[in-house]
């Protein structure tokens, strides 16, 4: 069995990529209210701060900061995925392995995580989150994507509504995706 080692810092800030199993589906945006409910439920039970988040049709990116003395982002993701899956009708096809483990065929089993190292790393990852719908050709401007914390950042005066992306709009961060 593989040994997945995750870097954990109590109260740390982390960047995540979480993917659907079937990357051609639009399950996340089609059922964004169920996802929001799942996140709110988990956040109420196990608090964390959402620094940035974007939900795309088949995957999402997030930057979270955990409370002091807390390192368990994995349990939060497990609970979010589980709560979302429970809200979905059972229509997906299941492999024999998933069926034997009583798993749903909605999510990839794991997620990609990166520990934020400093302010520049934080800024690059928040930019990546907010620019991602543009990168994937879903919209021409970040402000046009409705499922993003970009709008909160604009409302709080941290970024201009006409922001066109990072100075270097290429992939500035490793995302664990594509």
Antiparallel, parallel or unpaired: β 112-115 and 13-19: antiparallel
| Catalytically annotated residues | 147
Cα angle 24, 165, 120 (rounded to 5 degrees) comes to 105
Question: H helices within 110-172, ranges in order?
Answer: 119-135, 150-155
**C-alpha to C-alpha distance for 84 and 64, rounded to whole angstroms:** 19
Identify which of 97, 83, 73, 54 has the alpha carbon closest to the alpha carbon of residue 10.
73
- Which residues on adjacent β-strands are paired with residue 113? 16
Tokens of 129: 């989150």
Element (H, E) at 65: strand 59-65
All residues at 6 or more sequence positions from 69 whose CB lies less than 8 Å from its CB, including other chains? 10, 11
């Amino acid at each position: 069995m593989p040994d997945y080692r995750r870097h954990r810092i109590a109260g740390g800030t982390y960047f995540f990529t979480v993917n659907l199993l079937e990357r051609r589906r639009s399950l996340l945006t089609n059922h964004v209210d169920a996802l929001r409910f799942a996140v709110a439920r988990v956040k109420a039970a196990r608090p964390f701060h959402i620094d940035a988040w974007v939900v795309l049709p088949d995957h999402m990116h997030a930057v979270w900061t955990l409370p002091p003395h807390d390192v368990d982002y994995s349990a939060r993701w497990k609970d979010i995925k589980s709560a979302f899956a429970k809200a979905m009708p059972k229509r997906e096809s299941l492999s024999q392995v998933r069926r034997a483990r009583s798993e749903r065929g909605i999510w990839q089993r794991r997620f990609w995580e990166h520990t934020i190292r400093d302010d520049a790393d934080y800024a690059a990852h928040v930019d990546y989150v907010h620019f991602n719908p543009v990168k994937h050709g879903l919209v021409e401007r970040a402000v046009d994507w409705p499922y993003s914390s970009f709008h909160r950042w604009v409302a709080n005066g941290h970024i201009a509504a006409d922001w066109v992306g990072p100075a270097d709009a290429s992939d500035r961060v490793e995302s664990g995706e594509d």
